[in-house]
Amino acid sequence: MTTVTLQRIDALGVITLDHPPVNALSRAVRAGLLARLQEALADDGIQTLVITCAGRTFVAGADIREFDLPLQEPHLPEVLAALEASPKPVIAALHGTVLGGGLELALACHYRVAATAATFALPEVSLGLIPGAGGTQRLPRLVGAPLALDMIVGGTRLDASAALGAGLIDGLGEGEPLALAQGFLRDHPPLSPRPTAVQTVPPFDPDAFEAQARGLLRKLPGQEAPVLALDALRGAWQLPLSAALQRERELFVARRESAQARALRQVFFAERALAGRNRALAKAAPPVALRQVAVIGAGLMGSGIALCLANAGLATVLIDTQPQALERGRATIDSYFSGALAKGRLTADQANARAALIRCETTLDAVADADLIIEAVFEDLAVKQEVFRQLDRLAKPGAILATNTSYLDIDAIAGVTGRREAVIGMHFFSPAQVMKLLEVVRTRAVAPAVLATALQLGERLGKTTVAVGNCHGFVGNRLLAVREREATLLVEEGAAPEQVDRVLREFGFPMGPFELRDLAGIDIAWRNRQGRGESLSPAERACDLIEQLHARGRLGQKSGAGYYRYEPGQRQGQADPLVAGLLAAHRQRRGLTPRSHSDTEILERCLFVMINEAAWLLEEGIVEQPVDIDLVWLHGYGFPRYRGGLLYHADQCGLERIVSTLEGWSAALAERGTRISPRLRQLAAEGRRFLDS
């Protein structure tokens, strides 16, 4: 239900927008606003106007759902121009998240007052857009070019006190926004119209501005919108106002149709749909109340998980039977909180309260009161099974037993307990307090309430929480393994690791497969390969670069050398002639004549084998929906958001083309023990897409 009402309170005309859930500026809202504005201007009894919103927030932006439709009148810039031209003063009374078109609406008003908890941003670039209703022109006039740059290109969000300090708003306080506007009017008689657009941008240092812009763009490689947003912003001092507004609008309209904007919209809605599905599941099987959570193992992972729990206000017991390990864990936790305090992200009271939520213990019987126990010990099936045997004995009835394994068989872990229905996987990503992804791994016997509890906890921790089935590596690491295998085979055939890494970085990954391997550790890959034993195909076994690097003590960044060489204290690797020599000798031993690879072949080999494996994941029922695979790789593995996700990207490439390319490699794929997924073939044959299936 959408309503825009005009209410008269003495000489005040109050226009209230009511369009749940976030008062997005749909066509109906824009039309209603324009109509009520005209009524208010025609009413001689009204001297001043207030624009406010019902519900939890002021306008949170244009209506993103309309971006796939043709433009519909009245257009937002026209509505805002009418508002700004009002001969009666207009006050925006703000609360909640004043975002995008919502902030542009506020900027077109003559005065702005806000509730203390309000926040302000122009997040359009995160949707592949630029502000399209005057944001790039009015914002710099109020807050100056440097801050406008941070907000428009860098997505910086201001809280209300920062907004007041920057001159974005004119007043703030506790209480109802309408009452704040009335108070403001009382304190500032008589108010007269004060259009933002007629002001000029305050003077600034152009060289410093350009340096700041270059710095921001460097952090956003591959994204088109920030570059165009900067272009539009420069218009605020380089062009006459009407020309600058027109340029901004043209760029915005063109962006709506762009591939990047479409991909980013897809991700925006996919994330919200996932949260909705998790909520529905939690409703169907009421989750267990969590009063206390125990974490076993105080390594980087265990202490990171404890931090996540404490940050969400959960009483946590961190247990490690080795006192020194526990001490290191406590030190990690303390340094995290002192860092948060120093950076101003937490107050001293908040930091102390959260740190106090974590109690450290050295014996496993400290799990006795825990409602949920998350195991994060060494990645070895026998070690984990032993821990679970003990937990089964020590945990109270009804407690949930979760493992943070990243690829082991969780049914085999559950099988050693007498409560298989209470065992589940909760695969956090390192560092757990930073990474957004949580894979919740269903086991064969898991009870619905246990699954619902894990999903609900993930949401509470602020994670993108994806339910997946139990298989080697689950979704994320299973796909990572096929990409790494393909990348290694490319290198065996003659490509250089640095070429493969560059190609994947240019596609938009933050790092390439070999850089990632050096970061994660050659020893981890080595152990994994040892664990896979007979299941390695002959081609994989013969391509034993990991064993060769491991034998030379090249364990990756931690040992100063892996696929690359690292100068002390450097995280950026250098190509190493020693590795080139090792590769040449390896090829010679195997009788392989090195050949060169085009960048396209490298990219397609790495991505298409992942897409094929993803189709197998769907075939095996490991995920509920194709989009879940995309969310895992977007949030856990740096898949470029502006490409929409692995399977969204596959749909854009065309499944028929992918299948025919894979068919061209079928002999080589067979050597690696890989078959083309029948599901992928079927979708391609029917001309369908993953995300519609």
Q: Which residues bind ligand 3HC (CB under 6 A)?
A: 21-22, 24, 60-65, 76, 97, 99-101, 104, 123-124, 127, 129, 131-133, 135, 272, 276
Q: What is the DSSP string of 204-236?
A: --HHHHHHHHHHHHHTSTT-SHHHHHHHHHHHH
Least Å distance, CB 618 to ligand 3HC, is 23
Locate the DSSP E strands across 283-371.
292-296, 315-319, 358-361
How many Å apart are CA 662 and CA 680, to the nearest integer? Answer: 11
Q: Which is nearer to ligand 3HC, 62 or 449 (CB)?
A: 62
Phi, psi of 45, deg, nearest 5 = -75, -15
Q: Which is nearer to ligand 3HC, 124 or 492 (CB)?
A: 124
**Of the candidates 338, 323, 332, the residue with the CA atom closest to the CA atom of residue 304:** 332
How many Å apart are CA 120 and CA 74, to the nearest integer? Answer: 25
Residue whose token pair is 């502006």: 642
The bridge status of strand 400-403 relative to strand 358-361 is unpaired
Least Å distance, CB 44 to ligand 3HC, is 33
As given in the structure block, the two tokens for residue 145 are: 């070019």
Active-site pick, 39, 73, 78, 124: 124
Least Å distance, CB 256 to ligand 3HC, is 9
**Adjacent-strand bridge partners of 427:** 439
Helix (H) or strand (E) holding 362: none
Least Å distance, CB 480 to ligand 3HC, is 29
Q: Which is nearer to ligand 3HC, 279 or 527 (CB)?
A: 279
Least Å distance, CB 26 to ligand 3HC, is 8
Among this protein's residues, is 104 annotated catalytic? yes
With H, G, I as helix, E, B as strand and everything else as coil, classify residue 292. strand
Active-site pick, 39, 78, 84, 104: 104
Least Å distance, CB 200 to ligand 3HC, is 22
Q: Which is nearer to ligand 3HC, 60 or 655 (CB)?
A: 60
As given in the structure block, the two tokens for residue 141 are: 């006039």
Q: Which is nearer to ligand 3HC, 65 or 219 (CB)?
A: 65
Phi-psi region for residue 534, left (φ > 0), alpha (ψ -120 to 50) or beta?
alpha
Q: Cβ distance 138 to 127 under 8 Å?
A: no
How many Å apart are CA 290 and CA 648, to the nearest integer? Answer: 36
Q: Which is nearer to ligand 3HC, 276 or 581 (CB)?
A: 276
How many Å apart are CA 497 and CA 580, to the nearest integer? Answer: 9
Least Å distance, CB 132 to ligand 3HC, is 4
Q: How far is CA 501 from CA 16, 96, 496, 585, 636, in A?
A: 53, 43, 9, 22, 18
Q: Cβ distance 566 to 560 under 8 Å?
A: yes
How many Å apart are CA 81 and CA 74, to the nearest integer? Answer: 11
Q: Which is nearer to ligand 3HC, 101 or 329 (CB)?
A: 101
Least Å distance, CB 361 to ligand 3HC, is 35
Helix (H) or strand (E) holding 493: helix 476-493
Residue whose token pair is 């860092």: 339
Q: Which is nearer to ligand 3HC, 283 or 688 (CB)?
A: 283
The bridge status of strand 423-428 relative to strand 437-441 is antiparallel
As given in the structure block, the two tokens for residue 85 are: 């031209």
Determine if the peptide bond prior to 431 is cis (ω within 30°).
Answer: yes
Residues recorded for the chain? 693
Active site residues: 104, 124
